[in-house]
Structure 1
Amino acid sequence: MAYRSLLRVPGAGFFPLGFLARLPYATSTLATLILVRAASSSYAFAGLAAAAQGIATAVGGPVLGALSDRHGHRSVGVAAAVANIVALTGLIAASHADRVSMLAAAALVGLTQPPVGPLVRVHWSRLLHARDRHALMPTALSYEATADETSFVVGPAIVGLLTPIGPAAPTMGAIALLALATLPFALSLSRRDGTRPTTPKATRTPLPRRPLAAMFLAMAAMGAVFGAVQTGVTAYADGSGRPGTAGLLYAVFGIGSALAGAACAWLPARFAPRHRYATFAATLLLGGLILVAGDGLHAVPAAVAVAGITVAPYMISLYTLTEQLAPPDRATVTMTIVCGAGPLGTAAGQAVAGSLADGHGSAGAFFVAPIAATAALLLALGLLWADRGRGVWLVAGSGANAGELEVHKQSAST
């Protein structure tokens, strides 16, 4: 019933277009790896280019988010899609030039990456609030998490299908998706999906720095788990003599997460967002421990499938709290800052897990997952204790955009 009610809000056509619009993000990093590897004959340099693209995405996302809050989602979304098409075209051209050109082009691709996920989550919040349907926000966030996870199953599959055509084919596929899906999706957004100040000097609501920093670190921990799993399944596949199965294993991880995300729509309303956050941080740690145990028992595929179930509920709780703490006139930049922590955490997780995998194989790589999840759990418990014991930063309501969120200032004594 919850998803049926959600379908009636934006219209059924919104969903397939919104899903296809996020596929360029799910394909471009892997496409860059393949293209740069073929052009440079170096895995190390290809990894460096992909890392530069990921870091640039994390940096460019908040900038595009701030511009979206000021000038509207449609204008910035369209401009970013066009700029990303140009940047990807430039990357293909740079693949015939020197390494400096390829590195700069990869970074430019990241800087111009359209932040479809944050844009659509803020769009949901404002759309549901405008129609007095804010109770459907958890359902919308559950759907978005499911769509994200599914895109990271479909995206790599598209890259795999296009790669035999030529090393530039996946990048050209990303360009086609941008032109045929991301650009039309941006055009479908309202001009008012951003809060434009009445005058150039209008005062902007300050960002909630402490809770925003907490959500940033929480998402970075989630990214580190992703990086550990990606590296772990790659090491496992190589060690088992079937390197081609790495993508399939990671797809299983994504499928489990997508199914769990869809199920989150039916969580009871009395299960408060801050309690969900702490609970799902604990299950994320359990998932990391299952990965380590599964490797020891030579049951990695089953462990990956079970561990994937713990991912989306944790991410949905982060998005829910972020949506609640975001000032209405700076919702998009708030969401893009938190989302930007994901690729940074993934890069860090891949670096640490890769180093451990060199000496200890997949077991060393997987061990990074429970370490990162432990940090996530300690952060969640610390914030829950602070909120309950002193009421210092967040009282969970039903959404900042509905005007029902209360942010408390610390007293002078604290």
Structure 2
Amino acid sequence: MTVTARRTVDDTPAPTRPRPAARVGYGTLLRTPGARRFLLPAFAARLPFAMLSLGIVLLVRDTYGSYGTAGAVAAVSAVAQAFVGPQTGRLADRYGQAAVLVPSVLVHAASVGALIALALGHAPVWTLFLAAAPAGASVPQIGAMVRARWVAKLADSSPGTLNTAFAFESVTDELTFVIGPVLATAVATGLSPATGLVAEAALTVVGGLAFAAQRGTAPARHPHEPGVRRVSALASPGVRLLAAAFLGVGTVFGAMQVSVTAFAEAAGQPGASGTVYGVFAGGSMLAGVLYGMVAWRRSARQRMLGSYALLVLGCSTLWAMPGLTALALAGLVCGLAIAPTLITGYTLVETLVPDGAKTEAFTWLTGAIGLGLAAGSTVAGRLIDGHGPSAGFLVPVTGAGLGLVALVVLRRLLVAPATPGTPGRPSRTVAQSAAPAQLVGAAKG
């Protein structure tokens, strides 16, 4: 909700009645100078994010015969990404995105190649973990970097423009989760599971290097200043709460990948798993498109609580579905709450950190999703091995339910803290001190 201000003679702003942010179309957003040059390679580079975990599950399940083992190896990769990714985001804020991306994609390709060779050679399981860790740690944080570019490009734009940009990015994320699993499954089942991971590594290298080459749209570097203590984005209580909430969303992703794969195989249609998961992601993509077109009157915090509650409700029916068609429909309903939750979370976190920590903050949320994905895939894999495919669907509702409890109990942390200032002036956070007042209004709904 935008806050307008009336200037008096002594230049003291007086707030007037709040009004919703103006709606900004996707066409207007895409006409932002330089946007299309970084968006196309970014899409190719982030597509493997939706392929890596599923590709690992398909390869390890094929070579070792256990969903539990497959989920554990995928979990190691996701955990490594969750903890190392924010550090690469911090380095990108400090040294620039290209300086981090180039070595990351090369390490990723080498690590995935090692994992494939070990799996095909039926090496001890612990060696798979050693290869999966650097493969996950080196996943390029393209989504966070693109969002940081939007923040830099739209700093002087209307509040609705940034909200639309985050909606567009969420839709793009979901599109990758529509195409990625289908592509990974098609290649893995049509050729071989190893080829699926080869395709993932190739896309990472080509897309990552092409994105890194677009230096003209990269945000400004924020090098370390001598004598100034640099604080992590995770020092903000609001960022920590949002990371916990995104952890719950990650359990939905991880458990769905493993559970849908097992459910489809049990139904005698293993090739349908990518399609079912794609329907789930498609529901989120549709919701994201519509969400970005609405001029919202409710605050971002209220929208976050509402969309997260709908996510828990949608996940509560998955375990009871009798067949693939019913599962796809239930997944569609569940997916409708994903994009609104992610869009609102990124909108909120942007207000909680200073300019020099925005990539890191976005990466903590992405990393939290990865960590939740790891936990979800591991627990779901164990439940499937012991109790059948449907048991794996208990994980999404449990993980999302815990995230909702955290949001409801600690929701006050989602309000950006005010810095000391002149009485009567609008409160602004450190993150907002260099941003226009309109951006503050967008963040607060």
TM-score (normalizing by structure 1): 0.86
Structure 2 residue aligned with 1:409 = none
**Which residues in structure 2 correspond to 1:379-398 (within 5 Å)?**
379-384=406-411
Is the Cα contact below 8 Å between 1:387 and 1:393 reproduced in 2? no
Shift of 1:340: 0.8
Change (3 A) 1:115 1:374: same
Shift of 1:403: 5.8
Alignment match of 1:7 (pick from 30, 36, 56): 30
Matches of 2:95 and 2:113, distance apart in 1: 27
Matched, 1:250 2:280: no
SS at match of 2:222: coil
Is the Cα contact below 8 Å between 1:357 and 1:363 reproduced in 2? yes
Change (3 A) 1:175 1:231: closer
Structure 1 residue aligned with 2:312 = 285
Matched, 1:73 2:106: no
Change (3 A) 1:349 1:101: closer
Matched, 1:336 2:363: yes
Alignment match of 2:43 (pick from 12, 19, 34): 19
Shift of 1:152: 1.5
**4+ runs of 1 displaced by more than 6 Å?**
391-399
Is the Cα contact below 8 Å between 1:75 and 1:191 reproduced in 2? no
Is the Cα contact below 8 Å between 2:67 and 2:382 reproduced in 1? no
Matched, 1:124 2:147: no
Deviations 1:77-136 (A, max 9, x none): 22212222232333344444833443312211111111111111111111111x535531
Mean Cα deviation higher: 137-146 or 366-375? 366-375
Change (3 A) 1:244 1:326: same
Letter in 2 for 1:107: A
Is the Cα contact below 8 Å between 1:217 and 1:341 reproduced in 2? yes
Shift of 1:26: 1.9
**Which residues in structure 2 correspond to 1:228-243 (within 5 Å)?**
228-243=255-270
Shift of 1:300: 2.4
Q: How many residues align?
A: 403
Shift of 1:294: 4.7
Matches of 1:396 and 1:249, distance apart in 2: 45
SS at match of 2:361: helix
Shift of 1:197: 2.6
Change (3 A) 1:172 1:153: same
Shift of 1:205: 4.3
Shift of 1:322: 1.4
Structure 1 residue aligned with 2:72 = 48
Is the Cα contact below 8 Å between 2:354 and 2:430 reproduced in 1? no
Matched, 1:153 2:186: no
Matches of 2:260 and 2:238, distance apart in 1: 33
Change (3 A) 1:235 1:299: same
Shift of 1:27: 1.8
Structure 2 residue aligned with 1:411 = none
Matches of 2:402 and 2:69, distance apart in 1: 31
Change (3 A) 1:369 1:37: closer
Matches of 1:128 and 1:398, distance apart in 2: 18
Is the Cα contact below 8 Å between 2:75 and 2:378 reproduced in 1? no
Matches of 2:196 and 2:181, distance apart in 1: 9
Change (3 A) 1:14 1:269: same
Shift of 1:359: 5.6
Matched, 1:109 2:135: yes
Shift of 1:227: 2.9
Deviations 1:140-197 (A, max 9, x none): 1111111111112211222233333344322221232123222111221448625323
Matched, 1:314 2:341: yes
Change (3 A) 1:263 1:44: same
Structure 2 residue aligned with 1:402 = 435
Matches of 2:128 and 2:327, distance apart in 1: 36
Deviations 1:2-35 (A, max 9, x none): 1011111134343332211111222222333344
Letter in 1 for 2:180: G
SS at match of 1:402: coil
Is the Cα contact below 8 Å between 1:72 and 1:191 reproduced in 2? no
Letter in 1 for 2:88: L
**Which residues in structure 2 correspond to 1:101-250 (within 5 Å)?**
101-129=127-155, 131-163=156-188, 164-190=190-216, 193-197=219-223, 199-205=225-231, 207=233, 208-250=235-277
SS at match of 1:266: coil
Matches of 1:101 and 1:280, distance apart in 2: 41
Shift of 1:298: 8.5
Structure 2 residue aligned with 1:350 = 377
Matched, 1:372 2:399: yes
RMSD: 3.1
Is the Cα contact below 8 Å between 1:224 and 1:369 reproduced in 2? yes
Shift of 1:251: 1.0
SS at match of 1:113: coil
Change (3 A) 1:397 1:239: farther
Which structure has the higher relative contact order (CA within 8 Å, separation 6+)?
Answer: 2
Matches of 1:34 and 1:364, distance apart in 2: 19
Matched, 1:28 2:28: no
Change (3 A) 1:303 1:46: closer
Mean Cα deviation higher: 105-114 or 85-94? 85-94
SS at match of 1:203: coil
Structure 2 residue aligned with 1:59 = 83
Is the Cα contact below 8 Å between 2:251 and 2:399 reproduced in 1? yes
Is the Cα contact below 8 Å between 1:68 and 1:76 reproduced in 2? yes
Matches of 1:366 and 1:37, distance apart in 2: 19
Deviations 1:50-89 (A, max 9, x none): 2211111112101101111110112112221222223233
Alignment match of 2:299 (pick from 255, 272, 297): 272
Matches of 1:397 and 1:200, distance apart in 2: 23
User: Tell me, which stretches of 5 or more residues in structure 1 are unaligned?
Assistant: 407-414
Is the Cα contact below 8 Å between 2:171 and 2:288 reproduced in 1? yes
TM-score (normalizing by structure 2): 0.80
